[in-house]
Structure 1
């Protein structure tokens, strides 16, 4: 047996480097890399204690560092590095031992070391496919970052709008309370009917109910913001910002450039590249591999060790992997069609959202400039006229209701504008890199 092992060991030493050198090599040589930690998500943590004045930039920074879904996508990207490394490995050699006859005097022993040599570019095709899948994982992470960022912006402005509604409801309650007190004094003086006081008290109770509902909505909005940020429960008490700061919308060439860089569109195009890499791999698999064997045989009657050399190659008579090649080719064509559809759909959706945002911006400006001052002036005139005995309380209630409805419409228009801006931001993959910050259109003094 020792006489068999010596030549076999020598054959192994000389054959494996040669096979590694002659085997398929990746198109771009990649050195062995150490395990990469999950450091692709910028760590930006916020304090677990309650924050009384959270800014938008701090909320976005915390969400990008602590959102658990985003961390999961980062781990998926790290895992794809292992797939690329595995795809570049060559097949392991195999060692076989066989014995003919069980009697020692007549037994023939053979030992063979075999190595499969991949032909047709299989190894480089596998690496190319694994790299495209890693690129897809990177784009998935980028898309999720845009999702988290947009969700954070929307949740932040939902809290701002909720805080604004609380202020409006609180002011409404103060107005209703002062009106009820004024009516009560006039009833005591005998100038109006007690029915007017009942109406005033009903209006005050309705304003108090609206305030409680607005406070409950504010707490719900805070919890939604905490959830998307990945922060500790009850860690945020209030956010700091202006709901009146209208977000800007991309226009012209800037919009076209951002559409081309949108993560969803880039991912659709990367799907086409991945399908092309899969097709090339199936074509390479249609080329048969060669298995080379080198070993030794010892026969007692011969009295010496004989070398064994073998070459094995399949004959591609029936199976040339033609079915898998057709499947991969059709999937490539389907991916190209889906990428085209994604580009058309994304452009239509973004343009529609931009048009709606422009309409909301015009609505906000009209309400701020014309409707709110007029409604406020009408209410003040009706209130003074009632105190002087020129108008009835129903006139005051009607003017107050008109003014409060206008303020509610103004707040709703602001809320819809910020939601549309967050949706555009999500589809385009974040803010314009040339601006460096969240763009905003600032209105004049608040009404």
Structure 2
């Protein structure tokens, strides 16, 4: 008789998972929030976006600066020749100041809009990184659970194969049945190798985002069924303030401000010159002071082509904003619908498939030990339970991944989960 303690089957996955989570005695449990905080602190793309924002702030300060004046010094022998002497004298000093009439404010408006664009770009970068971290985190949770289940199944299959070999040697079962149990054990071992590979890939993906080695990752909590999402209107309120939408709207504002700059630059440029020179009056050298105004003649360049270019770019940018609004609304609705479906499906699958499959497996294993069921029935029960366990983990992971997509479409930070994001519901 095959001696297997069937009471351990229901808790096998939990026991193995607990051992798997203990990667290091000193390793703290990693949560989604701590993973996101770590990624935001070390991500080069976030640092680059912050630097871009600081650059635009510098451009804003620069936009209000007047152009520098120029100084002209003139020395010649004119005075000496008129007075009948020789040598050269400093005869003129002139200071010229370009006057940016009507140009400072439009340039400041462009720079201010650029700051808002950079701020929105930084927020969008952070939001996108949060989603990537959440996706990597939940995939690792899934693969961690699947690896624990595979190891538990492999241990059970190995125990059945070992007991089958003893019974075959004693003549209690046929060689064919013992070999089939060995094949089951080998298949379970292969499943462990595959699960280990997938777990390693997921661990590398998350560790890369956190700038850590995979063995530095702490334990991850197991996946649970998320509560049903709140009403669509709750998430739709944030979609209008999505950082990506603000970014595109800001780019449109930049183009509008640049059109004002082009109009200002079409006006004639003006420069004021103050000068002091020395001349000869009544046989003596006398100082002369004066002022001059230089006005550009806009004969060839009236910036008309630039204004037309910016007008066309502005129309194109308005359409991009409309496209993004449409896509965000569509993503929001699809993600909300899909998440609601996945949560319901995960709960139904647990009650209607997973728990009965576990019970059938336990009953079949006990029946096989007592000789009441044959080997094909045992194999079918084991495979059904394995498939149900794997399907449940995939449904849970898909639900959390869809929640990440939903919150990203709504422009909400993933690490700022609040109780209003979900309806009150039990697991």
TM-score by length of 2: 0.85
- Equivalent positions of 1:38-57 (< 5 A) are 51-57=27-33
Q: Are 1:50 and 1:236, in contact at CA under 8 Å, matched by a contact in 2?
A: no
Q: Does 1:153 align with 2:129?
A: no
Secondary structure of 2:173 counterpart: coil
Are residue 387 (structure 1) and residue 369 (structure 2) matched? yes
The aligned runs of 1:32-431 (5 Å cut-off) are 51-101=27-77, 104-106=80-82, 109-119=91-101, 121-231=102-212, 234-239=215-220, 241-246=221-226, 248-300=228-280, 303-431=285-413
SS at match of 2:65: coil
- 1 CA distance for matches of 2:158 and 2:340? 38
**Contact preservation (8 Å) 2:230, 2:420:** no
Separation in 1 of the partners of 2:415 and 2:383? 45
Kindly state the Cα deviation for residue 215 of structure 1 after the two structures are TM-superposed.
Answer: 2.6
Asked if 2 retains the 8 angstrom alpha-carbon contact of 1:129 and 1:277, the reply is yes
- 2:266–2:303 contact (8 Å) kept in structure 1: yes
Give 3-state SS (helix, strand or coil) of 1:303's partner.
strand
SS of structure 2 residue aligned to 1:426: helix
Using a 3 Å threshold, how does the CA distance of structure 1 residues 274 and 333 change in structure 2: closer, same or farther? same
Name the SS for the 1:312 alignment partner. strand
**Cα distance change on mapping 1:229 and 1:346 into 2, 3 Å:** same
1:254 Cα deviation from its structure 2 partner: 0.9
CA contact (8 A) 1:112 1:308 kept: no
Which is helix-richer, 1 or 2? 2
Give per-residue Cα distances to partners, 1:315-348, cap 9 Å, x unaligned.
2234221111111111111111111111001111
Q: Could you tell me how far apart the structure 2 residues matched to 1:311 and 1:200 are?
A: 101
Would the aligned equivalents of 2:203 and 2:214 in 1 still touch at CA under 8 Å?
Answer: no
Gaps of 5+ in 1: 1-48
Contact 1:291 1:312 in 2 (8 A): yes
Question: Unmatched 5+ residue regions in structure 2?
Answer: 1-24, 83-87
For the Cα contact (< 8 Å) 1:93–1:113, is it kept in 2? yes
RMSD: 2.6
TM-score by length of 1: 0.81
SS in 1 for 2:81: coil
Q: Distance in 2 between matches of 1:379 and 1:258?
A: 47
**How many Å separate the matches in 2 of 1:330 and 1:247?**
47
Q: Deviations over 1:264-322 (max 9, x none)?
A: 11212112211111111111111122111111222356521222321111122342211
Secondary structure in structure 2 of the residue aligned to 1:246: coil
Higher relative contact order (CA 8 A, sep 6+): 2
Deviations 1:109-161 (A, max 9, x none): 22211111112x21011111011111111111101111121222222222211
Per the TM alignment, residue 435 of structure 1 is displaced from its structure 2 partner at its CA by 5.4
CA distance in 1, matches of 2:425, 2:157: 29
- The equivalent of 1:43 in structure 2 is none
- Structure 2 CA distance, aligned partners of 1:188 and 1:299? 128
Displacement of 1:187 after TM fit? 2.2
After TM superposition, the runs of 4+ consecutive aligned structure 1 residues lying more than 6 A away are 440-445
Per-residue CA deviations over 1:356-397 (Å, capped at 9, x if unaligned) read 222222221121010112222222232223222232212211
SS of equivalent residue, structure 2 residue 216: coil
Shift of 1:235: 2.1
Check 1:297–1:50 CA distance in 2 against 1; reply closer, same or farther (3 A cut). farther
Per the alignment, do residues 364 and 156 of structure 1 end up closer, same or farther by CA in structure 2, a change over 3 Å counting? same
Deviation by residue 1:156-208 (Cα, 9 ceiling, x = unmatched): 22221122111111121122123223433442343321011111111111111
